[in-house]
Amino acid sequence: MEYHYQRRVAFSDTDAAGVVHFSRILCYVEEAEHALLGSLNIPLLDHGGWPRVDVQCSYTAPISPESDVNVCISPDQIGRSSIVWKFDVSSGGKLCASGMVKTVRVNTDGEPVALDQAWRDQLK
């Protein structure tokens, strides 16, 4: 399963060099993840949340302000309570960043909880 999320880069996302700050790219990935989960009616904050426990990203090209960005995100591994998302971020047909984010479903006490089977089925 692949999900594509598009957005336009805001000037406020850029740094002093005039390109998107590296941390904002991870925000784009999170936006894509939230859009995907929302499209599947998988709750973000209902009785807990999805903290990030591992993030890896390789940056391969800068992104300019006012550019259109495409984030392709997909579940790579689904564990008992976790999902490892792989992602690619591109702009103008050029790969700009790629990596992975591991999230864990937790309850309101911050304890990991098993993913619903319905969610697993939707993510395959």
- Chain length of the chain: 124
Q: What is the pLDDT of residues 12-49, one digit of tens each?
A: 999 999 999 999 999 999 999 999 999 999 988 888 89
Amino acid type, 40: L
According to DSSP H, which parts of 1-124 are helical? 22-39, 117-123
* CB proximity list for 118: less than 8 A, separation 6 or greater: none
Model pLDDT, residue 44: 85
Q: Is the pLDDT of residue 124 over 90?
A: no
Domain housing 119: 3-123
* pTM greater than 0.75: yes
Q: Is the pLDDT of residue 83 over 90?
A: yes
Strands 68-78, 82-91: pairing kind:
antiparallel
**Distances in Å between the alpha carbon of 17 and those of 24, 26, 63?**
14, 18, 11
CATH for 29? 3.10.129.10
Model pLDDT, residue 104: 97
Determine contact, residues 20/63, Cβ cutoff 8 Å: yes
Number of domains in the chain: 1
